[in-house]
Amino acid sequence: MAHSEAADQCASWLNEFAERLAGRDPKRVRSLFHEAAHWRDLLAFSWSIITVEGGPAIQDMLARCVEAANPHAFALEDGPLPGAQGSLEAWFRFETTTANCRGHIRLRDGRCVSLFTCVVALKGHDEKLGAARDKGVQHGAFAGRKSWTERRREIQRELGVSTQPYCLIIGGGQGGVTLAARLKMLNVPTLVIDKHARPGDAWRERYRSLCLHDPVWNIHLPYLPFPDHWPVFTPKDKMADWIEAYAQIMELDIWSSTEATSAAYDASSREWTVTAKRAGETVTLRPKQLVIATGMSGAPHIPNYPGATSFEGLQFHSSAYRTGEGFAGKRCIVVGSNNSAHDICADLWEHGADVTMIQRSSTLVVRAATIMKFFSSKLYSEEALKAGITTEWADFIAASRPYALLAEAHKAVYDEIKIHDAEYYDRLAKAGFMLDFGEDGSGLSMKYIRRGSGYYIDVGASELIMDGRVKLKSGVHIEQVEANGVMLSDGASLPADLIVYATGFDPMERWIEQLISPDVARSVGHIWGLGSGTRRDPGPWMGELRNMWKPTRQQSLWVQGGNLQQARFYSKLLAIQIKARMEGIPTPVYDPMVFGAELNPRHLA
């Protein structure tokens, strides 16, 4: 198809779409879509993060949302691009009553197979960037003038004491600081509290050998990208220092060494009462919005093995592991076979330990170089930058793909990966390692999205297992811990001086249960996962990550988390939702998988 013909087809579809929306005729709009089409909306129509699937669902969403949204001013951004399976793709801009928005269409045979719509900015509430940045000084002579630093210190003294934050964020890791930075750019008074002594300690206190498995192009923080000399894979201490520096440069208000102990919401005053321990005292905070940003998981999970209290050596969870130093010649058992388990096995071996991994169930393994070749380099790499794909552009491209369509697409890629790395996987199998590619063969990203565990990105430990330098006991579990080792389910005994339990974490909703109440935790429901019905991702199908970055069933309670790329992109959407509520902008939420089919009035500003 000639470029001009493709451009005409995309422009024609978008114009027809705009006209039918203006005519408030959802049935006629539906006819522009394939009946099995998907529409992913990030706030623009729904004021939530939803994917509607199929013609009837698209028609229902429009019937309930189009009047309040009032979409208009549609215009293509650039020329169309060829897509998969003979489709056409194009980006466009549009507006709603309250926001400037961006969208993406995929057309096949003249009709839409997937649509993406997303709020970019609230009208009249631009971020303090570019021409809108602070002046820094008021020129002239003024008696009693306060310097920037003096004004900053005054805010720090008062916030949380004589003045209350509009938003309180619990957790000062990557999720907390990215959201705090976004809110600061929108002039939302925000306080972060974190139990660690310094920003970045959540990384700093991990095991010494840890490096991020995502490449640098994928993990930039908002407003302050890494410098061009930054290593491809970031050592954990560099990441910790960067987060600490980021918090200082962005002038975020953070109370370190502060632990939240309880939280309760008052529906009549529409505010939270949060108690926290700070410097040995109990303090009370009363924010209007509360964000949990403590990561994707709850407390460390340690299996309750019989006899564990009788063990005479050292035993602890992987979250407490720091280094293999001091374990030379010691017999070390690592229970588990995911990322942390592999990294710890390698670190112990490098320090001269005798290491055995106990693999209880199958694990997805893929080489870091292979992930780069088949996935991340397409959007996040030097090659992508040279092709004009900026970090922001890459984030939008990634977000435009409905989760419901990812599994099939990834299966095809992993079929290629199995061929590409056939010799590697054959060696792993011969070593006795139990391997999988996800229950449906859809690979690592889908495992991450569905359950956040069950995989290892190989940065070297697999070679130790293949050649026997790290011993492997697979398909077994610990029947009993004994004074000097463990008894396995196959009857074998393993002597041990150290047992590391790389056995994962409790779900995040346990943290909500402890902080707020069991009733609120039950009402909010499971956090993370799509409802795919696969292991650790129970149904029903939700189409989006449960309770992440969007309204929950608990008024004014939000969850911020995920990897650095997700924290960067979705923090802006969450900040926009909080800002809209602070400014009294109507935010009628349509999220039928969470609240039912009606617009939810509890979430109106």
The pLDDT tens digits of the residues spanning 365-407 come to 999 999 999 999 999 999 999 999 999 999 999 999 999 999 9
**Domain boundary assignment for the chain:** 3-122, 148-298+506-582, 302-505
Phi, psi of 108 (to 5 degrees): -140, 125
Mean pLDDT for the stretch of residues 357-364: 97
Check whether 597 has a pLDDT greater than 90. no
Distance of alpha carbon 480 from alpha carbon 307, whole angstroms: 6
Check whether 516 has a pLDDT greater than 80. yes
What is the model's pLDDT at position 567?
97
Our CA dihedral for 233, 239, 245, 248, rounded to 10 degrees, sits at: 130
Alpha helices in 367-481 (DSSP H): 368-374, 382-386, 391-399, 403-420, 422-430, 444-451, 461-466
Look at strands 455-458 and 364-367 and give their pairing.
parallel
Mean pLDDT for the stretch of residues 133-152: 91
- Topology of the domain covering 302-505: FAD/NAD(P)-binding domain (3.50.50)
What is the model's pLDDT at position 297?
77
Tokens of 461: 């430990």
- Topology of the domain covering 148-298+506-582: FAD/NAD(P)-binding domain (3.50.50)
Q: Is 449 exposed, middle or buried (0-12, 13-18, 19+ CB in 10 A)?
A: buried
290: closest CA among 168, 164, 165?
168
Tokens of 182: 């976004």
Check whether 2 has a pLDDT greater than 80. no
Question: Residue 131: which residues within 8 A CB-CB, separation 6 or more?
Answer: none
Specify the CATH number for 3-122; select among 3.40.50.720, 3.40.50.620, 3.10.450.50, 1.10.490.10. Answer: 3.10.450.50
Check whether 85 has a pLDDT greater than 90. no
Same fold, 148-298+506-582 and 302-505: yes
Look at strands 111-122 and 99-108 and give their pairing.
antiparallel
DSSP secondary structure string for all residues of 110-157: TEEEEEEEEEEEETT---S-GGGS--S---S--TT---HHHHHHHHHH
Give the CA angle between residues 234, 376, 551 to the nearest 5°.
85
Handedness of CA 513, 514, 516, 518 (dihedral sign): positive
What is the model's pLDDT at position 298?
79
Mean pLDDT for the stretch of residues 306-321: 97
Contact 75, 89 (CB under 8 A): no
Local structure of residue 220 (DSSP, 8 states): P
Tokens of 291: 């964000």
Question: Residue 145: which residues within 8 A CB-CB, separation 6 or more?
Answer: 138
409: closest CA among 95, 84, 189, 107?
84
Locus of tokens 């990105």: 457
Quickly count: other Cβ atoms within 10 Å of residue 243's Cβ: 24
What is the model's pLDDT at position 605?
46
Quickly count: other Cβ atoms within 10 Å of residue 414's Cβ: 22
Three-class SS state of 95: strand
Instruction: Give exposure, 328-351, as e/b (b: 16+ Cβ within 10 Å).
Output: eebbbbbbbbbbbbbbbbbbbbeb
Question: Residue 18: which residues within 8 A CB-CB, separation 6 or more?
Answer: 71, 72, 74, 94
Question: Residue 557: which residues within 8 A CB-CB, separation 6 or more?
Answer: 265, 290, 291, 292, 512, 516, 520, 524
Quickly count: other Cβ atoms within 10 Å of residue 476's Cβ: 16
Distance of alpha carbon 544 from alpha carbon 592, whole angstroms: 12
Residue 348: pLDDT band with limits 50, 70, 90: very high
Check whether 604 has a pLDDT greater than 60. no
Mean pLDDT estimate for the chain: 95
Phi, psi of 215 (to 5 degrees): -75, 165
Please provide the distance, in angstroms rounded to a whole number, between the alpha carbons at the two ends of the chain. Answer: 48
Distance of alpha carbon 254 from alpha carbon 277, whole angstroms: 14
Check whether 1 has a pLDDT greater than 60. no
pLDDT tens for 459-495 read 999 999 999 999 999 999 999 999 999 999 999 999 9
